Structure 1
Amino acid sequence: MSQLDAAINPARLNSKRTQAQFKLHPEDFVVTERLDVADDGEGEHQWLWIRKRGANTQFVARQLARFADTSPKNVSYAGLKDRNAVTEQWFSVQLPGQETLDWQQLNNEEFQVLKVIRRQKKLKLGLHEANQFKIRLRDVADKGLFEQNWNSLVTDGTLNYFGPQRFGHDQNNLTRGFEWLRAGGSNKRVKKPEQSRLLSSVRSFLFNQIASSRYQQYGFETLAGDCVMLSGSQSVFHVEQWDDELKQRLTTGDIQLTAGQPGWVSKPLISGEAEQFETDCVSPWADIIDCLASKKVKASRRAMRLKPTDPELCWDGSDAVIYFELPKGSFATACISELIDLSVTENDEDSVE
């Protein structure tokens, strides 16, 4: 397996996984965005709670803009949700000085407006807290192995990988991202709306490479110079040397190990052994990282481990129906890949985030 393939289909905690049918129907993958909002009763932002089936988030946003006769820039959402699924999420449309529109006129087989409220502020990207999942895996071949892996996932979690959806059909986003950056990253060659997707794909690949290599070499053991993340606020801090108190906080889940998404760094967040390890991991792509830095794409940290909350497993004949919640920005496929052999070939939508 090449280094490219290894980062796109990286190491798993469970080496043996059973077979099952995944996403045979949109109803097999149900996602509900968790975001608590209150109705201000007034304001220029009309917020819509929408259920969609077989449609991606950006498509729905365009339909809302067209109906309201406004620019797509005035339509906002907290995160992208899968196309081949049934999902519920918030959208907001900025319409100064207008009465609440009759949004139900838009209802169709692909999406329905379930609720409308007025607010003073727009919906910002990443504002949601989490995503709740109900997933049906059909015709599970080995129930015993599935339950064993499920229990492992609930107890130990998995690696917080970016899913293969992020890299596009046949890794096209990733390939184009590499080519574009190695050609100098010109704004003329790739339009700005597409740049974000290509940069995200490249940095996601590098994170997967670091996280996979570190787990294979060290598991979830600590390294001097680590950067850790507070589980609640997701703020990060540098650990020059680990002491017993910090290790206990790691054990209880108060803090988490992180891996890097390389880019421009104003103040390094890792040092020593951890820094050397990550540098060695991504050395084959040093030229790419230099390009990211030259474009002032800020380096960031992402939690290495992903543990689903509120997990539940139910059997419906040979079908496993699983429920869990993940923090925003995490991929359900990272969890599913610990349970069954999973090959994502569709470009569903870059993620559920």
Structure 2
Amino acid sequence: MPKVTVVIPAYNAMAFLPETLESVLRQTFTDFEILIVNDGSTDNILEWASELKDPRVKLITQPNQRVSAARNTGITNAQGKYIAFLDADDLWEPAKLEKQIRCLDEQPTVGLVYTWTLLVDKENNPTGRIFASHLEGKVWNKLLENDPISSGSSPLVRRSCFDTVGLFDRNLAYAPDLDMWVRIAYRYPIAVVKEPLVRYRQLPNSFSRNRQGMIKELRQVVEKAFASVPLEQLYLRNQCYASIFFGLAWLAVDEGDYKKAIHLRQQAFLHYSQVFFSEKYLRLSLAIAMIRWFGANGYDGVRSLTHILRRRIFGVSI
């Protein structure tokens, strides 16, 4: 039995899948199986897979049912004690599995361990930004406020966790990752390897850019998470909604729409007024002001300069 099962859902992903697979095969930890779940692709994945020589790589083909169902197929067929998920356009650094496995081996109560994530462009060039968090322990409510995991390609999960919390919600198209990580974190401590060991490829036509779908499903995740918590913890729900509106406001800033950003900032304030005194409120307000004063192009120029300075001083922008 392999110690780790790597599940790679794939739907018409041949533009990136070979490179993604190679990043797994280059891992310093080698006791794994790789389940590529072909979710009804119409590209040449079958011909490509038939030429793979590594016996650890297996292809499972099913009708198109979207990513949650593909991951569930991988979990159902997994033989490993630990399960890792990897999107077909993302990449792993060579030591990712080794460092995460060491963490789970040394901390038997931990259910999930994630890593920091480096953002790259379509050609795998770093953008200079990293999703980095120090959040760990019993922190399920913090996951709802500000998802530190950020990428479905980051976590390594104990197989037994899925026996406890169930499989991915097939009804969620935009937020199944967060839903699963919150369910796991409600029952288990989580841990983090504080290194950027995942490369998250930002694509211009990303499925996750459907904002209205994201809002709808994030609300479902929040309501589901708080449906069974003790009464004294319900006050945290408004903080979660405030955080969601902050995230949407930053998306509006990225689009140069300061009026929408102001509206979303106000919604965050109405849900949780204490946020007015936070650093993130100040940062958002400054970004909105810069767009109003200098326009979207002026703001982008200042932000690009800030990223350049951070890269030169710190190596990355966190």
TM-score, length-scaled by structure 2:
0.32
The structure with the largest alpha-carbon Rg is 1
Which structure carries more strand by proportion?
Answer: 1
Which structure carries more helix by proportion?
Answer: 2
